[in-house]
Amino acid sequence: MKFFVDTADTADIRELAATGLLDGVTTNPTLIHKSGRKFMEVVEEICGIVDGPVSAEVVALDHETMMKEAEILRKIADNVCIKVPLTVDGLKTCKKLTEDGTMVNVTLCFSANQALLAAKAGASFISPFVGRHDDNGFDGMRLIDDIRLIYDNYAFDTEILVASIRHPIHLLESAKIGADVATMPPAVIRGLFKHVLTDAGIEAFLKDWEATGQSIG
């Protein structure tokens, strides 16, 4: 399973990249706004930190303008992945870009039927939002399960990129289902390291080591 981090904070990206865990990065207009930096500048810096796909989202709603924005964004670096919304114009743009050899992440997916459309349009990634799905009284993980089944039935190459992950259980269930990618906020990734028994074990080992009166080096 691939791990992407969902942020535009380059300090967080550098720290997590140093662990060897990161396979890519996702950004969106909200995350760019939180960063307080210029969009193009941030994307270029991120592309220099990680080798994997870096999702950069178009903001236009019509196909022609989406293509113009995508043309600018994909010139930033070879690992830029253009993110488009799951709309008719978004899928037109997806089809055109993938035919040109550009990675495309189709975002804001909330149904298995939408995911099927994205796969038929040639999307590199489909981003179903499990947390937002849960917020509205639906089962986000059932959505991932349905998409996995459909994609396997027809051998689609589109990768399931689980988005809006709120906690470790979302990740665990996604991995069990067989999702290809999980994109998570930095805090969720850091939370995966934590376990009360790990902390207790370290504390006990350090206490016993101190009692030996020894040092290494």
Domain count, the chain: 1
Encode pLDDT of 181-212 as tens digits. 999 999 999 999 999 999 999 999 999 999 99
In a domain, 17, yes or no: yes
Encode pLDDT of 85-110 as tens digits. 999 999 999 999 999 999 999 999 99
Q: Report pTM.
A: 0.95
Contact 183, 6 (CB under 8 A): yes
Domain that holds residue 179: 2-212
Whether 96 is catalytic: no
CATH number for the domain that contains residue 35: 3.20.20.70
Catalytic residue among 83, 92, 96, 120, which? 83
* DSSP output for 72-120: HHTTS-TTEEEEEESSHHHHHHHHHHHHTT--EEEEEE-SHHHHHHHHH
Q: What is the pLDDT along the chain (217 residues), one digit of tens a residue?
A: 999 999 999 999 999 999 999 999 999 999 999 999 999 999 999 999 999 999 999 999 999 999 999 999 999 999 999 999 999 999 999 999 999 999 999 999 999 999 999 999 999 999 999 999 889 999 999 999 999 999 999 999 999 999 999 999 999 999 999 999 999 999 999 999 999 999 999 999 999 999 999 999 8
In a domain, 150, yes or no: yes
In a domain, 217, yes or no: no
